[in-house]
Amino acid sequence: MQPLQIDLLTLPIRYVTLFVAFFVTIVMGLFIVFQAYHGYRRNANRRMLFLAVGLAFVTVIPPLMSLATASFGLHVDIYMFYLPLGTAISQIVGLSFIIYSLALRSGS
C-alpha cells in the first residue's frame, strides 16, 4: 500500500480556502467550548457543562464530519444524504443540550 501523497502547491485554491475555513471554525468552536467548560469547573455549575457539550455538538462536530467526509472522498450518497443528516442530527442534539442548560435552575 502506497501512502497518500499530496502536493500542496498543486491543490486548487478553493480546497485550501475550504480547509482553512473548516480549521478556523473548529478552533473557534473549541475555544468557546473550552471557556464554557472552564466556567463549569470554576463554579461547579451544571448549566455550563450542558452548555459546553451543546456548543461542541453545534460548532465543532459538523465541520469535523464534513472535513472527514471530504478527506476520504466517499460515495455521492454520503455527500447528498448521510452528511447533511449527520450534521442536522448533531445540531439537534447540541441545541437540545443548550436548551436544557437554559432550562435548569441556577442552583443546579
Instruction: Note down the domain range covering 37.
Output: 1-73
CA dist 48 → 1, 20, 27 (Å): 47, 29, 19
Counted domains in the chain: 2
- What grid cell was written down for 2? 502506497
Same domain, 84 and 103: yes
61 and 93 both lie in a single domain: no
Predicted confidence (pLDDT) per residue in 8-62, tens digit: 667 678 878 888 898 999 999 999 999 999 989 998 888 999 999 999 999 999 9
The reported pTM is: 0.77
Distance between start and end Cα atoms, the chain? 54
Question: What φ, ψ does residue 59 adopt, rounded to 5°?
Answer: -105, -25
DSSP label at residue 4: P
**Residues 5 and 23 grouped into a single domain:** yes
Same domain, 14 and 45: yes
Cβ neighbour number for residue 64 with a 10 Å cutoff:
15
Tell which wins on pLDDT, 70 or 57.
57
pLDDT of residue 15: 79
C-alpha cell at 108: 443546579
Q: What is the dihedral of CA 20, 23, 24, 30, to 10 degrees?
A: 180
Nearest 10 degrees: Cα torsion 55, 61, 64, 66: -110
Same domain, 83 and 67: no
Amino acid at 90: S
Is the domain of 63 the same as that of 100? no
Q: Does residue 22 share a domain with residue 54? A: yes
